[in-house]
Amino acid sequence: MQPIISISDLTKTYKSGHQALKRVDLEIRKGEIFALLGPNGAGKTTLISIICGIVRPSSGMVTADGHDIVRDYRAARTKIGLVPQELHTDAFETVLATVSFSRGLFGKAPNPAYIEKILRDLSLWDKRKSKIMELSGGMKRRVMIAKALSHEPEILFLDEPTAGVDVELRRDMWGLVHELRQSGVTIILTTHYIEEAEEMADRVGVISKGELILVEEKTALMKKLGKKTLTLNLSEQMTALPEGLADWTLELKDDGHELEYVFDTHDERTGIPSLLRRMSDLGIGFKDLNTRQSSLEEIFVSLVHDGAGSK
Ligand SMILES: Nc1ncnc2c1ncn2[C@@H]1O[C@H](COP(=O)(O)OP(=O)(O)OP(=O)(O)O)[C@@H](O)[C@H]1O
């Protein structure tokens, strides 16, 4: 399938000499939700800003729906909606005027029915006559999304969409993003919240120090790199790990009532049968046991720490 965004050999060195992006190659598929994860300063906003034509690349090429973002800027930009990290709108304007005006900026003919639909979808219709400054922070954020959608873009960038918002609004946003995708919009979001990527993304890209160190289907990533944790609920509380269990990397949890063992699902020998045998020999009993997959968070932390990964 033709990618909707194609990025090749993209680099960005700011005037300060700081290299914010190093030879980034990435293709975004039409209709997917792609989460770009990375620590502060990794280059996420730089990458988005280049695609949206706000920052000039130092070298490399980007196309959006087939349009070169430098040579064919206007056509490319029309395809894209951007919800930036910072909220900036005219505080004295009404919601309806702000969103309608945004559409006009892209040279699109007015379409009151469409604007009404997005305002309704974002639960902003009742507030359409309110001035932006009268709205809560969460509502202002919704206005930014409405503005970004006002010209019916096919691609939507959300830069840290839920930074600093409460749990309820975060859930609403997630729901909204899923609905948008249903309507055919391709979504690229940056986030610090692994939970957000885990909840929403089809694919995940990890960026660290300007390099895209990994791009993977979310489920495959979790399976491939995932470790599992075995938890044993001990029959009797344990105050310290016995010498006899020193061969395994174990941790006591829940005030000595639980024993945790992290193992790699790909290792031929997980170490579990021998651990259980040794425990039995030592007369350590357990009432229950369970295993769970490591979260994307644990995977992400280890990746960014090691700075390694396969692309
Ligand atoms: N205009 C600029 N001039 C010089 N350096 C810049 C400029 N903008 C960003 N940088 C630097 O480029 C690097 C990448 O910044 P960027 O904002 O893209 O990171 P980010 O991954 O979006 O971080 P955050 O999660 O904190 O928003 C940082 O080291 C930043 O200081």
Q: What's the CA dihedral at 215, 217, 220, 221 to 10 degrees?
A: 40
Task: Write out the two tokens for 228.
Answer: 């599992």
Contact 184, 31 (CB under 8 A): yes
Beta bridge pairs of residue 131: 94
Pairing of the two strands 19-29 and 3-13: antiparallel
Ligand 1 near 18 CB (within 6 A): yes
Tell me phi and psi for residue 35, to 5 degrees.
-105, 130
Ligand 1 near 82 CB (within 6 A): no
pLDDT at 309: 42
pTM: 0.78
Q: How far is the CA of 207 from the centre of ligand 1 (A)?
A: 12
Q: How far is the CA of 271 from the centre of ligand 1 (A)?
A: 44
Ligand 1 near 205 CB (within 6 A): no
pLDDT at 310: 39
ipTM (interface pTM) = 0.94
Which of 19, 21, 36, 44 maximizes ligand 1 atoms within 8 Å of its Cβ, making it the mutation to test the pocket? 44
- Secondary structure (3-state) at 64: strand
Question: Going residue by residue through the chain (311 aa), what tens digit of pLDDT does each one get?
Answer: 679 999 999 999 999 999 999 999 999 999 999 999 888 888 999 999 999 999 999 999 999 999 999 999 999 999 999 998 877 777 889 999 999 999 998 888 999 999 999 999 888 999 999 999 999 888 888 899 999 999 999 999 999 887 777 777 788 788 888 888 998 999 999 987 777 888 889 999 988 889 998 898 988 876 666 678 899 999 999 999 999 999 998 999 999 999 999 888 777 788 999 999 999 999 999 999 998 876 666 666 666 666 544 33
Query: Looking at this protein, which amino acid is placed at residue 31?
Result: G
Ligand 1 near 46 CB (within 6 A): yes
H helix intervals, the chain: 44-51, 73-78, 95-105, 112-121, 137-149, 167-182, 194-200, 218-225, 272-281, 296-306
What ligand 1 atom has the least distance to the C-alpha of 12?
Answer: 12
pLDDT at 12: 97
164 Cβ contact partners less than 8 Å away, ≥ 6 residues apart? 137
What ligand 1 atom has the least distance to the C-alpha of 21?
Answer: 14
Nearest CA to ligand 1 atom 3: 14
Nearest CA to ligand 1 atom 6: 14
Ligand 1 near 45 CB (within 6 A): yes
Ligand 1 near 17 CB (within 6 A): no
Query: Looking at this protein, which amino acid is placed at residue 55?
Result: V
pLDDT at 126: 96
